[in-house]
Amino acid sequence: MNLKVKQYGILIASICLIFLGVNRGEYSTILKKAINICLECIGIG
């Protein structure tokens, strides 16, 4: 029972933080960084 409570607590905290990041517009920053890393890996950037 204790393990289930911890798992659900982490799940709820994760979902809350994801929504907080989306509301702050963090996804665009992360997408830009991911694109730059991918372009550097293949040698274009």
Check residue 35 and give its pLDDT: 86
Number of domains in the chain: 1
Judged against a pLDDT cut of 90, whether residue 44 lies above it is answered with no
Per the model's pLDDT, the better-predicted residue between 3 and 43 turns out to be 3
Sequence-distant contacts of 32-41: CB under 8 A, at least 24 apart: none
Give 25's DSSP letter: T
Look at residue 1 and give its three-state secondary structure: coil
Residue ranges making up the domain that contains 29: 3-42
Judged against a pLDDT cut of 70, whether residue 1 lies above it is answered with no
Judged against a pLDDT cut of 80, whether residue 43 lies above it is answered with no
Question: In the predicted model, what is the mean pLDDT of residues 1-26?
Answer: 93
The tens digit of pLDDT for each residue in 16-41 reads: 999 999 999 888 888 888 888 887 78
